[in-house]
Amino acid sequence: MTAAAPPSAPTTPPAGPAGDPAEQAFAREWQQWHLAHERSLAAPHGFLAVTGLHWLTTGPQRFPGVPGRWRTGPTGVAVELAHGEKLVVGGETVTGRHDFGTIAERDGVTVGIDGGVLEIARRGGHDILRPRDPDHPLRTGFRGTPAYPPTSRWVLSGRFVPFDSPRPTTVGAAVEGLQHVYDAPGRIEFTVDGRRLRLTAFNGATPASLSVLFTDATSGRTTYAANRSLAIDPPDAQGRVTVDFNRATNLPCAYTDFATCPLPPAENRLPIAVEAGEKIPYERL
């Protein structure tokens, strides 16, 4: 199967106010960041290419578009491939039986299948399969994500306050009945229009960085109802951080029902309208 071409560059909000060079430069930098973010989302095997979400059990099962009979158990995930079926694992063609072993929570492996790839992962204590096809209509039809025009008004100074020790924090998920557990290293405190606010933070994607999941008064109105995510650079020696809500992004569940995204902790429901960052995707309007 020939992969579809990547989606064309999405439209972005206009640059900052006319006559304000600083705001215009800020808007251009944001536009470059947002375009790179959207290109990653719409990569050939990115989340917009996911065509299904399959839950493994101890009994062997077949799933649409996925070769083999799959099961999981105390020794981990295994597959039995019938005659003529194959996977590409680590660059090597695999036939017959293959054991993937146990997969750590929030970890996974990706293998090649005809027409795309297959993600084998563990989420919320369950082993899952997610096939990804570059020609999936959700990806080929992607036209970008609407967002509020970037403004320095929503670039806030904050402070990271570490907990005495990381706090295990259980949150819900986009999939009903599923739960995720994260170790929260601390909270982020900041002020908006004289109002002091705080958000419980989780560890980020890079060492010492942080990530927050939140909702606010725009959620379910102009922004996705379930959650938005914000990455925060590592605190400095005094614990200072920058909270740039212009870079608040949707999680994959905002686009597809095949995601298991975490929901924000209850205390991360902000009582203000954060009119910055990504809005409800066109796919959900």
- The span from the first CA to the last CA of the chain, in angstroms, equals 31
Segments in the chain below pLDDT 70: 1-19
pLDDT of residue 20: 85
SS (H, E, C) 75-121: CCEEEECCCCCCEEECCEEECCEEEEECCCCCCEEEEEECCEEEEEE
pLDDT of residue 18: 56
Say what the pLDDT of residue 19 is: 63
Distance of CA 119 to the CA centre of its chain: 15
Nearest C-alpha neighbor of 268 from the set 216, 220, 226: 216
Question: Residue 58's pLDDT is what?
Answer: 98
Q: Which residues does residue 66 pair with via DSSP β-bridges, in sequence order?
A: 63
What is the reported pLDDT for 3?
41
What pLDDT is stored for residue 144 in this prediction?
Answer: 97
- Tell me the CA distances in angstroms from 42 to 8, 9, 10, 129, 219, one per residue in order: 10, 11, 11, 20, 24
Give pLDDT tens digits for 251-279.
999 999 999 999 999 999 999 999 999 99
∠ CA(261), CA(263), CA(269), 5° rounding?
Answer: 150
CA neighbor of 225 nearest in space, from 175, 144, 280, 145 = 280
Q: Where exactly are the structural domains of the chain? A: 52-132, 145-284
How far apart, in Å, are the Cα atoms of 104 and each of 77, 107, 125, 133, 243? 11, 5, 9, 25, 31
pTM: 0.91
